[in-house]
Amino acid sequence: MFGGADRRQFLAHAVQGVAAAACGGVAWNALLVQQAHAVPFALRPPGALAERDFNATCVKCGLCVVACPYRVLKLATTSSGIPLGTPHFVAREEPCRLCPEIPCVKACPTGSLDRGLKDINDSRMGLAVVDAENCLSWNGLRCEVCYRVCPVKGKAITIDAHERKLSKHAVFVPMIHSDACTGCGLCEKACPTTVAAIRIVLPSLVQGKIGDHFRMDWRPEAMPETPVPAPAPAAQAAPPAPARPAGLDYFNSETKP
Amino acid sequence: MSTQARAGTTRPVRHFEMPTTLAGKLHAWRFLIARRAVQVSVLLLFFGTAHWGWKALGQPVLAGNLSAGKFAGAIALADPFTILEVLATRHAVAGEALLGAAIVLAFYFFVGGRVFCAWVCPMNAVTDAARWVRLRLAVRDVFAIPPGVRYAMLGLSLVMSAIAGVAAFDWISPIAMMHREILYGAGLGLTSVLGVFLFDAFVLKHGWCGHLCPLGGFWSLVGRGAQVRVAFDDASCTRCGDCLRVCPEPRVLNFIEAARAGMVRHGECTNCAACIAICPEGSLRLTYRPKKGTVPRNRPQILSD
């Protein structure tokens, strides 16, 4: 069909077209990747998929924004520092109120907010961390505001008493428990310091991992409940040997059953 | 542009003249006014629902935006091209968005894909303004882009979505940015409006809507099945060429093809009806597409002899 010069011209045009597309594609890709993956963390609505999956599936329609009864959610602007148009909230301004009905998740048409989230307390938008250096409680004041506003009070935030040592009196400090913290940001909003001393951050940014090779046998979870053998009649078989942790407890062996 | 009457036609060639009376002007602008009214209404419904809590029957009237939305709290809507891009990133999409995309696709498949471009897209007013400025200042194109680039952009959008892992066009779409800016103040709206305006006004005629926009390319493909079309009566047409001058997509007004089909069949036709308003002979009108095999009502005589 294409002979000689025609064919050469056709091929030249095809190559030109592909090259033009590739040029544009490289620039386009740079733009997208720079936007999409530059920021590892944003405070997303409850049930949001992992950041990369979220960015891929969110169509920035704003249905979650409209559904939010407290007008907490906003679509990102150029100054938000996260991908333009994606929904997020700023905890210090308006934290998530953890609606039990989770209207934002119900409103999401694409599944960027996972409808598998049925209990709002299971949401993990981020993790609260305390800047002990600037925390009033750590500085010896009886603040504990974060503890009091926490919607999962007593689970996500507890108050630890540190006995008087070199300080003038005992200090009562907030402790965050990642297994219960939803990352709603109510604590960050309520923190009375000029700049919040408790913040919601990307969990992997601050969370370490102890590892299985450390044994902490004094911890209740490391020491399974051992049934106290009832005074058994002689006829009954001997009670089963109490389950014991694999490690040998040198210090407390006298006091353990 | 042909201003000659065809051989055998004795009718003199007349050109469109803008009426001097206000009523006449309004009549000449009737489709333009209708398009602006629809564009503004769509925006207003989205805005009112988002900011003033507009409700109908206790449900939000039109929530969301042009990417995805919900009408009356019940009918899901979604931009099929955006959803296609998300699917290209190899991510699953929830059923609601798929259903919404199917509903929107079915609607535009019926009324004409690029009805979106001329009647709904907020960028249309910007490019129309750019066109007006361009005509006033008699601007010449800086460079030319071959036709069909929008289809390459369409294909590239999907490829880029697969490579970058995000909906490639949706993320840089000036339309989406403008729309989100108006509805949610989400940023870069003014920049994108300005960019498209300058490009269309001073760089390339119909540069954005007519050449580059992959969304327009997508709707052009959908528009091939349109049931609402511009009917063409070849018998009364004098080939004055006024329609070609106002058409934003002059490629679609191919007289030979239009005469044979009895209508403008091209998928790139936006059904903006500018040609209808300007035709001095009344040879054009909006109509339902005749079914296959039936003879159009204004069957051109050229084929009957």
* Complete domains list, chain A, with CATH: 14-125 (no CATH), 126-204 (3.30.70.20)
Nearest chain A alpha carbon to B167: A56
Q: What gap in Å lies between CA A146 and CA A197, rounded to an integer?
A: 10
Q: What gap in Å lies between CA B37 and CA B48, rounded to an integer?
A: 16
Q: Is B172–A79 a contact, with Cβ atoms under 8 angstroms apart? A: no
Q: First-to-last CA distance in chain A?
A: 93
Of the candidate ranges A192-206, A241-255, B92-106, the one whose mean pLDDT is the lowest: A241-255
Tokens of A157: 């935030």
Q: Where in A55-203 does DSSP place strands (E)?
A: 74-75, 87-88, 127-130, 157-162, 171-176, 198-201
**Cα of A2 to nearest chain B Cα, Å:** 21
Residue pointed to by tokens 């040879």: B283
Say yes or no to pLDDT of A254 above 90.
Answer: no
Q: Is B167–A56 a contact, with Cβ atoms under 8 angstroms apart? A: yes
Q: Is B164–A109 a contact, with Cβ atoms under 8 angstroms apart? A: no
Chain A (38-57) residues lying within 8 Å, Cβ to Cβ, of chain B:
52-53, 55-57
* SS3 category, A82: coil
Say yes or no to pLDDT of B10 above 90.
Answer: no
**Cα of A62 to nearest chain B Cα, Å:** 5
> In chain A, what residues touch B93 (CB-CB under 8 Å)?
57, 110-111
pLDDT band at A40 (very low <50, low <70, confident <90, very high): confident
Whether this model's pTM surpasses 0.95: no
Q: Which residue has the higher pLDDT, B262 or A192?
A: A192
- pLDDT recorded at residue A225: 64
DSSP letter for A94, please: S
| Option in A25, A53, A62 nearest B91 (CB) | A53
**Cα of B216 to nearest chain A Cα, Å:** 18
Nearest to B114 by CA among B167, B35, B41: B35
Hey, is the C-beta of B187 within 8 angstroms of any chain A C-beta?
yes
| Option in B100, B166, B184 nearest A75 (CB) | B184
Hey, is the C-beta of B238 within 8 angstroms of any chain A C-beta?
no
Hey, is the C-beta of A167 within 8 angstroms of any chain B C-beta?
no
Hey, is the C-beta of A117 within 8 angstroms of any chain B C-beta?
no
Say yes or no to pLDDT of A248 above 60.
Answer: no
A&B contacts, CB < 8 Å:
140
Residues 6+ apart with CB under 8 A from B295: B262
Tokens of A135: 């925390």
What value does the mean pLDDT take over residues A90-116?
A: 95
Instruction: Please check whether residue B19 is in contact with residue B280, taking contact to mean a CB–CB distance below 8 angstroms.
Output: no
Nearest chain A alpha carbon to B54: A66
- pLDDT recorded at residue B5: 46
Return the percentage of chain A with pLDDT > 70, whole number.
Answer: 84
> In chain B, what residues touch A53 (CB-CB under 8 Å)?
91
Q: What gap in Å lies between CA B248 and CA B70, rounded to an integer?
A: 31
Chain B (75-134) residues lying within 8 Å, Cβ to Cβ, of chain A:
76, 78-79, 82-83, 86, 89, 91-94, 96-97, 100
- pLDDT recorded at residue B299: 45
- pLDDT recorded at residue B17: 86
> In chain B, what residues touch A108 (CB-CB under 8 Å)?
94
| Option in B70, B165, B167 nearest A63 (CB) | B70
Residues 6+ apart with CB under 8 A from A166: none
Q: Where are the domains of chain B?
A: 31-221, 227-304
pLDDT band at A181 (very low <50, low <70, confident <90, very high): very high
Q: Is A110–B76 a contact, with Cβ atoms under 8 angstroms apart? A: no
- pLDDT recorded at residue B294: 46
Q: Which residue has the higher pLDDT, A127 or A242?
A: A127
Residue pointed to by tokens 């409850």: A46
pLDDT band at B257 (very low <50, low <70, confident <90, very high): confident
DSSP letter for A236, please: S
Nearest chain A alpha carbon to B99: A109
- pLDDT recorded at residue A249: 58
- pLDDT recorded at residue B295: 45
DSSP letter for B199, please: I
Judge residue A128's burial from the number of C-beta atoms within 10 Å of its C-beta, 0-12 exposed, 13-18 middle, 19 or more buried.
buried
> What is the residue-averaged pLDDT of chain A?
86
Q: Which residues pair with A160 in a beta bridge?
A: A173
Q: Which residue has the higher pLDDT, A246 or B217?
A: B217
CA of B243: how far to CAs of A8, B12, B115, B272, B277, in Å?
Answer: 39, 17, 18, 12, 9
pLDDT band at A241 (very low <50, low <70, confident <90, very high): low
Instruction: Please check whether residue B221 is in contact with residue B268, taking contact to mean a CB–CB distance below 8 angstroms.
Output: no
Residues 6+ apart with CB under 8 A from B102: B80
Say yes or no to pLDDT of B2 above 80.
Answer: no
What is the rounded radius of gyration, in angstroms, for the C-alpha atoms of chain B?
21
Q: Is A59–B96 a contact, with Cβ atoms under 8 angstroms apart? A: no
Say yes or no to pLDDT of A79 above 60.
Answer: yes
Give residue B225's identity as a one-letter amino acid code: G
Which helix (H) or strand (E) covers residue B71, if one does?
strand B68-71
Hey, is the C-beta of B59 within 8 angstroms of any chain A C-beta?
no
Judge residue A88's burial from the number of C-beta atoms within 10 Å of its C-beta, 0-12 exposed, 13-18 middle, 19 or more buried.
buried
DSSP letter for A234, please: T
Q: For B227-304, CATH number? A: 3.30.70.20
- pLDDT recorded at residue B274: 93
> What is the residue-averaged pLDDT of chain B?
88
Residues 6+ apart with CB under 8 A from A246: none
Q: Is B159–A79 a contact, with Cβ atoms under 8 angstroms apart? A: no
| Option in A21, A57, A75 nearest B180 (CB) | A75
Instruction: Please check whether residue B190 is in contact with residue B181, taking contact to mean a CB–CB distance below 8 angstroms.
Output: yes
What value does the mean pLDDT take over residues B86-102?
A: 95
- pLDDT recorded at residue A117: 95
Mutation site for B-interface testing, chosen from A13, A34, A63, A86 by largest number of B Cβ within 10 Å: A63
Residues 6+ apart with CB under 8 A from A3: none
Q: Mind listing the pLDDT tens digit for each residue in B121-160? A: 999 999 999 999 999 998 888 888 887 899 999 999 999 9
- pLDDT recorded at residue B211: 92
